[in-house]
Amino acid sequence: MTDANHQPATSPAIIVVAYNRPESLSRLLTSIAKATYPQVKNIPIVISIDGGGSHHLAVKDVADRFDWPYGPKEIVAHETNLGLIEHVFSCGDLSQRFGRIILLEDDLVVGGSFYAYAQHSLDFFAGDPQVAGISLSALWFHGFTQLPFTPYPDDGDNFFMQVAWYQGQAYTAEQWQRFRDWLQQDGGAVTPEDRMHPMFSDFPETDWFPLKTRYLVKTGRFYAFPRQSLAVNFGETGTHFSQPTSFFQVPVQDRRSGWRFQSLRESVAVYDSWQEMLPDRLKRLAPELEGVTFVTDFYAQRNPELVSAELMLTTQPSDPNATRNSWGLTMRPPEANLAHGVTGDGIRLIRPNTIDRSLRSRFIADWNRYRYFSNQRPIGRWQRVRYLLGRRFSRFR
C-alpha cells in the first residue's frame, strides 16, 4: 500500500493512435492539452496516423496544427493501412524507446488527472510481473450481460481484472515486451480450451482485445484498473462500432492529484476474465468457504458442463435439495452478501450438474438478476407513457 503523492520515476510518453477521424482526434488532443502536468518536464507526444483513410490528410492537418508546449511532438503518418491490430501494436512497441507510455485511441477524451494517475500507477506496479498493464478506465459494466459491475470496496483506489480493457492504457517497456514475447511463442485466437467466455471468439480478427485478454488468462496476469475513470470513450463509428453509442459515457476525474494504491497480493478486488471474483479472494471475505473448491458465477454466464471445479457459487437456478449452502442476493456487490452472512437463496453453492436448465426456471432467475443488478426504481404508468411519446416524437424532429 502506498499514498502515491511522491515524485514518479520517469515521465511516460503519450502515444495517440489515430485513423480517419479528424474531429475525434481534435477533441482528444484538446483534452490532452487541458490536462494537468504537475512537476513534469519534457513529455514526448507521438501522434501515429494509420494510412489509407479517406480523411487521412485532414487527420494529419489536425496533428500538424496541434500545439504541445510540454515537450517534443512527433507525427508518424503511415503511407499504407496497417489495420487496427498492427497499428496499435506498433504504437505499443514505442514503449521500448520511451520506457513508459500512455496509449490513447482517438475516440477517447481524457480527464485532467489522467497523466498524474498514469505516472503514479506505473511507478507503483512496475515491479510486479503479474501486472500486465494499467487501464485508465474504470470498467463499470459487465461485458457479457451489459449489467452494472461494481468491484468490491477495498483499501485502495484500484482493482484488478483479467480483461485487457482498451479505453486508455499505460505500460512500462517490460510489461509490453512480456506480451510481445508471449505473442511470438503462444499468440493465437481464443479456443474452447482457454475456458474463456464464448463471446471472445465472436470478435473480428481485426480486433486485438480478445488476443490481449487471452494473454492475461494464459499467463495468470492482470490489468490494474482505477475506481474512477481517467478516460472516457465517445463510442463513435469506427473499427469497434458500426453505429455511434453513448453507452460508455461516465464521469472522468479532472481534479485529483493523489491516489492510494493496493498491490495485487493485498487486494481482494481481483477478478478473472469472466468478471468474477477469484475464489481465493472471496475466501478472505467468507472464511466458511476455506477448503472448498469452487468457481464464482454471480452473473450466471458459465456453462455448468464446462466447469471443472467441484462446486459453483452461482445465481443460476438449481435443485433446492442439492444446495450445499446459500446466501441472499440483497447487498451490493454480490460478494457483500457472503461477507455479511446475508440469509436467503439468491446465491447457491451447488454441484454443476444440479443446475435447473428448464426455461421457466432460467427466465425467473434472469428476471431476478436483472432486478438486482439494475437497481432501478419502477416507472409509473404515466411516466412510461411520457417516455414512449418522447421517444416517438424524437423520430420526427
CA distance 129 to 263: 12
Peptide bond preceding 333 in cis form (omega within 30 of 0): yes
Helices (H), the chain: 22-34, 56-65, 84-92, 95-98, 114-125, 173-186, 209-219, 279-285, 335-339, 359-374, 381-394
CA distance 289 to 338: 10
Cα-Cα end-to-end distance for the chain = 54
Identify the DSSP state of 292.
Answer: -
Assess whether pLDDT exceeds 70 at residue 185.
yes
396 alpha carbon, distance to own chain's centre: 37
C-alpha cell at 24: 475525434
Assess whether pLDDT exceeds 50 at residue 280.
yes
Q: Sheet containing 222-226: give its strands across.
A: 73-77, 45-49, 13-18, 100-105, 169-172, 131-135, 222-226, 158-161, 270-271
Q: What is the pLDDT of residues 240-253, one digit of tens each?
A: 566 677 788 888 99
DSSP labels, 110-174: E-TTHHHHHHHHHHHHTT-TTEEEEESS---B-TTT--B--PPP-SSSEEEES----SSEEEEHH
Stretch(es) of the chain classified as CATH 3.90.550.10: 2-271
CA distance 373 to 315: 12
- Out of 2-16, 252-266, 339-353, which region has the weakest mean confidence (pLDDT)? 2-16
What's the alpha-carbon Rg for the chain, to the nearest Å? 23
**What pLDDT score does 397 carry?**
60
Q: What is the pLDDT of residues 216-227, one digit of tens each?
A: 999 999 999 999
Q: What is the mean pLDDT of residues 93-111?
A: 97
Class (C level, CATH) for 2-271 = alpha beta
CA distance 132 to 221: 6
Residues of the chain above pLDDT 70, percent: 94
Average pLDDT across the chain, whole number: 91
268 alpha carbon, distance to own chain's centre: 17
**What pLDDT score does 35 carry?**
97
